[in-house]
């Protein structure tokens, strides 16, 4: 009995997914939980494991096709199906033998026997056959099918040069232009077109020399920027899936929450010295740097432990759901397709060391910018930090990331003249902007949380021993 493979649900907001690449060809043996395909979803590309062991009997949805979740995309058959396949034509002989006397002629028997013979010969030399457009039976090697799918070639148009007319990989290569013979993932091919990179100039580092999106981006990063397009040539650009989902979620958040924003200017002078002192030691231990966001995430997590009302969540029609975790999400802007804003989550940020958080954050940001974040790495957040300091922004009103209750906006960290003990001194200052849902938490508890967060950053050495 065949096991259906459907478009999986990989996130709470996922409504559809795109098959990016099949990692197995039709007729291939696959083990349970072995990577079967990659799916391009709202926030990146994810490997999907096989739901069962057996033979990949049929691929229903081809790479580059977008379908709703739970749509049938393939079928996995029992392992015994491949072994039983050559025996199927033998059933034709008794039918033909009985049909001949009934018709009063031996012509039918002679016509059926060669057909059955050809079928048996082809079935023993191929793992699978399909009917072509002209009704003839097609037999092709798995490598030939995989190569044809990768370059978008209709295998039914080819003549096989293998045993018993079987289509082999060389037949596919001989029928295609040189650029189309190159093994390249669908995502990488699209990126190459968008960045104007010639596929023939790329060297693949993937399995079997396959060109991946990282290979394309590596070449694109070293190219000169393309000239600006004249305004008259620019039309209305369709929204990417990530941009569309982000827009819908942010609009829903702005309409559904009772948002209030508090602003606090914190003195980061000691935090700046603290970070400068730690970074060389982190580098010696293998962590390239201590990002400001890791430092702020640690302080926010500790403040959440003291002010758990800020981490509670509003549940429509039910009330408030408390949060026992201190998982802190970090907003990361993604400029490559699919562009948008993703939020990887630092789990248990209150109990982990600063170096562990810094290492984790650097890895998550790298994954986010290359579209490799998994749904698990973006789930479970109790609080979010979004940092616009690199753009010289001081304060702003960030939109809450549902279903969370609060989000912290971090402005630029810069030197200012500040009055300290009656004297004007240069100090390193930063504006913190806390947006919160007033349905869940009142102004005073929210202000107390923000004050505690600022206090931890103004006295950062407490972050090491807690």
Which amino acids are annotated catalytic? 438, 442
The pair of three-digit structure tokens given for residue 107, joined into one six-digit string? 């012509």
Instruction: Let me know: does 262 contact 437? Beta carbons within 8 Å.
Output: no
- Outline where DSSP puts E strands in 117-197: 129-131, 137-139
Distances (CA, A) of 64 to 155, 195, 207, 290: 18, 18, 20, 39
Spatial CA neighbour of 58 closest among 71, 72, 75, 42: 75
What is the distance between the alpha carbons of residues 405 and 315, in angstroms, rounded to a whole number? 11
The Cα–Cα gap between 376 and 379 comes to 5
> Is the torsion defined by CA of 47, 51, 56, 62 positive or negative?
negative
Q: Which residue has the tokens 């200017």?
A: 265
CA 403-406-410 angle, to 5 degrees, is 130
Q: For tokens 């191929």, what's the residue? A: 126
| C-alpha 344 chain-centroid distance | 12
Torsion-angle region of 322 (φ positive above 0: left; ψ -120 to 50: alpha; else: beta): beta
In the structure encoding, which two tokens stand for residue 181, read together? 């013979």
Q: Which of 412, 344, 355, 406 lies closest to 378 in space, CA to CA?
A: 344
3-class DSSP assignment, residue 344: coil
């Amino acid at each position: 009995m065949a096991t259906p493979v459907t478009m999986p649900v990989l996130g709470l907001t996922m409504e559809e997914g795109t098959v990016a690449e099949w990692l197995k060809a039709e007729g291939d043996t696959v083990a349970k939980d072995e990577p079967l395909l990659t799916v391009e979803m709202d926030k990146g590309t994810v490997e999907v494991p096989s739901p069962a062991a057996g033979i990949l009997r049929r691929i229903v949805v081809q790479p580059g096709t977008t379908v709703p979740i739970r749509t049938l995309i393939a079928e996995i058959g029992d392992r015994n199906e491949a072994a039983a396949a050559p025996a199927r034509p033998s059933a034709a002989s008794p039918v033909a033998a009985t049909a001949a006397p009934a018709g009063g002629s031996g012509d039918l028997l002679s016509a059926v026997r060669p057909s059955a013979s050809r079928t048996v010969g082809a079935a023993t030399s191929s793992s699978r056959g399909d009917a072509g457009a002209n009704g003839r039976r097609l037999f092709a090697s798995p490598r030939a099918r995989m190569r044809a799918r990768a370059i978008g070639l209709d295998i039914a148009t080819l003549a096989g040069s293998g045993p018993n007319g079987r289509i082999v990989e060389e037949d596919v290569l001989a029928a295609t232009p040189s650029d189309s013979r190159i093994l390249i993932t669908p995502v990488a091919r699209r990126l190459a077109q968008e960045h104007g990179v010639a596929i023939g100039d790329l060297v693949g580092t993937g399995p079997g020399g396959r060109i991946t999106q990282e290979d394309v981006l590596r070449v694109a990063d070293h190219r000169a920027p393309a000239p600006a397009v004249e305004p008259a040539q620019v039309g209305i650009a369709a929204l990417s899936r990530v941009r569309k989902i982000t827009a819908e979620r942010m609009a829903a958040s702005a309409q559904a929450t009772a948002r209030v924003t508090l602003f606090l200017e914190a003195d980061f002078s000691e935090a700046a010295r603290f970070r400068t002192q730690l970074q060389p030691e982190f580098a010696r231990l293998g962590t390239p740097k201590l990002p400001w966001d890791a430092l702020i995430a640690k302080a926010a997590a500790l403040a959440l432990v003291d002010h758990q009302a800020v981490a509670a969540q509003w549940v429509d029609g039910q009330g408030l759901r408390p949060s026992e975790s201190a998982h802190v999400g970090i907003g990361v802007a993604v400029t490559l397709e699919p562009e948008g804003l993703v939020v990887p989550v630092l789990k248990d940020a209150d109990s982990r060391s600063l170096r562990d958080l810094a290492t984790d954050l650097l890895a998550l940001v790298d994954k986010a910018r290359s579209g490799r974040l998994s749904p698990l790495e973006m789930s479970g957040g109790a609080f979010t930090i979004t940092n616009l300091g690199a753009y010289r922004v001081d304060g702003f009103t960030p939109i809450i990331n549902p279903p969370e209750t609060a989000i912290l906006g971090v402005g630029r960290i810069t030197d200012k003249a500040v009055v300290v003990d009656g004297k004007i001194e240069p100090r390193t200052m930063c504006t913190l902007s806390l947006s919160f849902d007033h349905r869940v938490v009142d102004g005073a508890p929210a202000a107390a949380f923000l004050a505690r967060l600022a206090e931890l950053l103004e006295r950062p050495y407490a972050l090491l021993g807690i």
